[in-house]
Chain A
Amino acid sequence: MSAESLILFFIVGAFLVGIALLFSSLVPPTSTNPQKAEAYECGIPTEGITWLQFNVGYYLFAIIFLVFDVETVFIFPWAVMMKSMGMTAFIEIIIFFFVLGVGLLYAWKKGALKWE
């Protein structure tokens, strides 16, 4: 099987959910009333809008994650070639990790890794 057959897995996954949702929306008995459509929060009508400004901490972590995730992608080819390249690759990754470590340390000292 080649990589094209990934489409197959996509289709089968979508089919599994789709057929069940279709069945569930057609077969079971339904009834509606205003209370049923309320959000399940506290029993009385919800106050205020839900889609509001959110704690900036989550976004900070998302940005740091983005930096490190891109770095991880760079390390993958290195990891595959490490065995055959030997010393050169080792020295290069030490330099790379040094830069990465300084970045992490900077974020740490700036308090970006602290949850408030």
Chain B
Amino acid sequence: MTFNIYDFTSFNRWIDEGLNSIMSPTWALITEMAIIGIVFLLFYAVVGLFLVYAERKVCAFMQNRVGPNRVGPYGIFQTIADFIKLLMKELVYIKDSDKLLFNLAPFIVIIASFMALSAVPFAKGLHAIDFDIGILYVIAVSSLGVVGILLAGWSSNNKYSLIGAMRSGAQIVSYELSVGLSLLTIIVLAGTMQFSEIVEMQRNGWFIFKGHIPAVIAFIVFLIASTAETNRGPFDLAEAESELTAGFHTEYSGIKFAFFFLAEYMNMFLVASIGATVFWGGWMPFHVSGWAGFNTIMDYIPPFVWYIGKTAFIIWLMMLFKWTFPRLRIDQLLTLEWKYLLPINLVNILFMAFLVLMHWHF
């Protein structure tokens, strides 16, 4: 067996050849798909459960509390217990609600976030699909989630839900522009949209260092816009609990509510990993050109650890945002996007293009 923690391509080939040698190609393909499906399903569930736990712990420490500490050591099984409890709850239907759309909404939200995850490179050779239009694909698919949120709010036949969904729609749709444009800034520097190539180009320096000033501006804009796009505080006015009970998922109970919750956290994980991949080199270790010894030491840390570390750091930043800043009003929110972030982004793209033209990047 050729398992190598630094490069999964040979491991993948080993599985592929092994399966093809014991069964027909069609069945080998089906088995591979089943393996990938199960692995992603488990990964999705584990990361989702862990992030909910992490959020509660971070929130608790910021508020000088202990957080969940009863179920298991340090309360790590708390979210699993919550999940089982939610699974065993009755699904309540509201009188006069649109049943079909009401049931369809969690499907759309989960499928959108699950499909977007398929393009993320976790380590060398460890990705489900390596598109040549990777970034465009992720932006396109992850923006489908807003349809689910709008459907959820609309079909609930509840005024709070409708207001929450409309706010959420206006917000996600607006900030999607800034996410796209800030990633575009890096595409100008990279000249490709394929994730594997983008990561490979950062071998001798991450893009946030290579593109210096415009890349840093783009990263800050990306961080703000992606926090808003995932409906997280301080931009969580779609589910502002002090005014709208719970926003678009007020009427959802049991496991359906859990899916909206899960999708929110997985979207956070997704934008954090896109940010880590595009700006901070994904699974690429931290390299300084010229320092051969330092680079060798950094290479010993497995790529998957680098990837998870960077993603976790961005997620941690987003959690700090949520528990630090007060919630914005909707007019402030739209002003921030349309009058500040969008013009800054457009100018920033020109700046980056000029930099690439003059070869002033590293």
Instruction: Decide: B33 and A8 in contact? CB cutoff 8 A.
Output: yes
Interface residues in B, total, Cβ within 8 A: 73
Contact of B154 with A by CB under 8 A: yes
| Segment among B222-230, B304-312, B318-326, B352-360 that sits at the interface with chain A | B352-360
Residues of the A chain whose Cβ atoms lie less than 8 Å from the Cβ of B87: 20, 23-24, 28
Q: How many A-B residue pairs have CB under 8 A?
A: 192
Interchain CB contact under 8 A, B110 and A87: no
In the docked arrangement, what's the CA distance between A54 and B339, Å? 24
A21 touches B256 (CB 8 A): yes
CB-contacts of B124-161 with A (<8 A):
128-131, 136, 154, 156-160
Interface string of A8-22 (1 = CB under 8 A from B): 111111101110110
Among A10, A39, A64, A82, contact of B191 (Cβ-Cβ < 8 Å): A82
Residue A44 interfacial (CB < 8 Å): no
**Assuming A17-B110, A36-B92, A72-B181, is B170 touching A58 (CB within 8 A)?**
yes
- Show 16 A/B contacts (Cβ-Cβ < 8 Å), sorted by A: A6-B118, A9-B128, A16-B114, A21-B106, A25-B91, A28-B90, A37-B95, A51-B157, A51-B162, A61-B338, A68-B342, A72-B181, A76-B193, A83-B191, A90-B353, A115-B330
Inside 8 A of B92's CB, which chain A residues have their CB? Answer: 36-37
Residues A1-51 near B (CB distance < 8 A): 1-3, 5-6, 8-14, 16-18, 20-21, 23-25, 27-31, 36-41, 46, 50-51
Least CB separation from A116: chain B residue: B331
> Do A72 and B184 touch across chains, with their CB atoms under 8 A apart?
yes
List chain B residues, Cβ under 8 A from A86: 357
A32 to B255, CA, bound (A): 18
Listed from nearest, the 4 A-B pairs whose CB atoms lie closest are A115-B331, A13-B114, A13-B111, A83-B191
User: At the interface, yes or no: A106 with Cβ under 8 Å from chain B?
Assistant: no
Contact (Cβ within 8 A) B115 A113: no
Q: Which of B41, B94, B191, B346 is close to A97, meaning CB atoms less than 8 Å apart?
A: B346
Contact with B along A50-87 (1 / 0, CB 8 A): 11001101100110110011001001100111111011
Counting chain B CB atoms within 10 Å of each CB, the highest count among A1, A3, A87 belongs to A1
Q: Which of B54-62, B171-179, B294-302 has 4 or more CB atoms under 8 Å from chain A?
A: B171-179
Q: Is B118 a contact of A9 with CB atoms below 8 Å?
A: yes
Interface status of B292 (Cβ within 8 A of chain A):
no
Contact partners of B177 in chain A: CB under 8 A: 65, 68-69, 72
Bound CA span A12–B191, Å: 33
Docked-complex contact A113 and B339, CB < 8 angstroms: yes
- A58-B169, A93-B353, A108-B339 given as contacts; is B41 within 8 A of A12 (CB)? yes
List 8 other contacts, CB 8 Å, given A41-B159, A89-B353, A115-B335.
Answer: A1-B36, A17-B111, A17-B259, A21-B106, A64-B338, A68-B177, A76-B187, A108-B338
